[in-house]
Homo-oligomer: A and B are copies of this chain.
């Protein structure tokens, strides 16, 4: 890679190319990769983004075809010399693709995963990787010797042998890549389906140095562990899938507001890792940081020792409505619609009761500031999903934090944390840790990636070049939110109807009750107050919650008179909570690079069609 030093800019661009191709990982940026991205973004700012329409979204989707057609082929068939010339020749096109990757990894991913779903496409790129060539033939033993930076880092993929020594430093997932050193990539890529895209294979192909002999390949194949996602639960077919591995899906907006209590099967799913299968008999919950030492608690002890409490609480993903931010400017993350939010009843022990029982008191309180949670869902390095909440939320009588073992009156479903999850009402979904394995009372926040370098909000003026994750607090309480579930964008209203029925949901974090929803059908010029609902049809309305403990959403509905001479209706909703917080008017001024906290007024355009005379 002698040429790599001839031009600083080219080095950066190339690094970015490689880095970003790999960095589609849903939430697995290492801090190192973040730093790397920051450098890259400086270049990307000046690039153009080419868009192409997709059947999934009207947002900007970067094109990868430029890349596929030329770049990798050339690289595969040539040595180090000549690469720079080629690179310079193709720079404009290259930049195209790079900018797309930089700005749109989340969308690319969502798009690709949705398009391909289960099937791993037998693409031309893949064929190129696996095709025979006149490269040297290696045995598995030879490959195994190269498992450190000193001896070189070799990996195999579908019978090919790759020297990725130089790539290790720029791998977005950081040193984790070394776990595969001297062996097969397949088991690791299986864990992070994001790698299974053509352009990732293209990058890999740059490092090809040979092939395994057939015997070694066969041996390796049989030794490969099974897909970590092979034991995923069966899901409801209505779910709209944003990513299959890990599984992330939302119900269709049209059915979301049909139920005040969302049926568990269509409750939005937001997994960061494979669903762990937990034996309830063997299950133990560990608790650290209390005065009596480490506690180990069985499921039956949790159920029998502590009173069972039930709350109705809405959970919302920080990325709900991210797709609207993507329309302003591409962000990183799953392309959620408006339904990464659902409402359920949760039953379990109060975290407060459990902590007090095992020795939480003034002595602990004097030092501790946070309660950390670890899931039993782990990545390939054995790192568990983790998050933390402020101590006062965890131990307050009014915090209502549960170690829940039931959802909607039944055992938690596997996708929702069986056998035990944390429910932190009023707080972003990401802190409601599922498959709870450990609780740590601590003076520090969780050190996890998801607490430190993800799920934070930034100014629209902050990009990957300037972001400092330490400068923003981890999202806990979420701001006021509302969205229109009916009618759907682009549908029609008949002129014979003098009114249009509009429905939706509204919710706010921190236990702040939704006190009003305003609806407009003229884009926000005039407003009408919707009727709020706090129960399912035929059920008694929920009693008003105590102040600061309104954990559940409100559904709303209104028949709005249609203005004379309307051709198109721009339906808008905005909600107000008990702290009189309002939603911002527009998306652009709250845009942020992670696409979280998307809570501007929700807007839906519908046509007003038919004969005016009959109206």
List chain A positions with a Cβ less than 8 A from chain B.
390, 392-393, 396, 398, 457, 459-462, 472-473, 475-480, 509-510, 512, 515-516, 518, 524, 526-529, 546-548, 574, 576, 578-586, 589-590, 597, 599
Contacts and interface: CB of A to CB of B under 8 A. Distances in A.
- Most chain-B CB neighbours within 10 Å: which of A393, A518, A582? A582
A472 B516 contact: yes
Contacts of A510: 510, 579
A340 to B, nearest CB: 16
Given A585-B589, A589-B585, A461 B526 contact: yes
B461 A529 contact: yes
B477 A392 contact: no
A573 to B, nearest CB: 11
Chain A facing B: main interface SS: loop
A508 to B, nearest CB: 9
Given A529-B461, A586-B585, A579 B547 contact: no
A602 to B, nearest CB: 13
A360 to B, nearest CB: 15
A146 to B, nearest CB: 46
Contacts of A584: 582-585
- Most chain-B CB neighbours within 10 Å: which of A515, A583, A589, A599? A589
Contacts of A527: 459-461, 589
21 contacts: A390-B547, A392-B398, A392-B547, A392-B548, A393-B547, A457-B516, A459-B527, A459-B529, A460-B526, A461-B518, A461-B527, A461-B529, A472-B516, A473-B578, A480-B581, A518-B589, A574-B589, A580-B597, A581-B581, A582-B590, A582-B599
B462 A529 contact: yes
A494 to B, nearest CB: 25
A461 to B, nearest CB: 4
A597 B459 CA distance: 24
A460 B509 contact: no
Closest 9 CB pairs between A and B? Answer: A585-B585, A477-B579, A461-B527, A390-B547, A479-B581, A581-B581, A582-B584, A479-B580, A459-B529
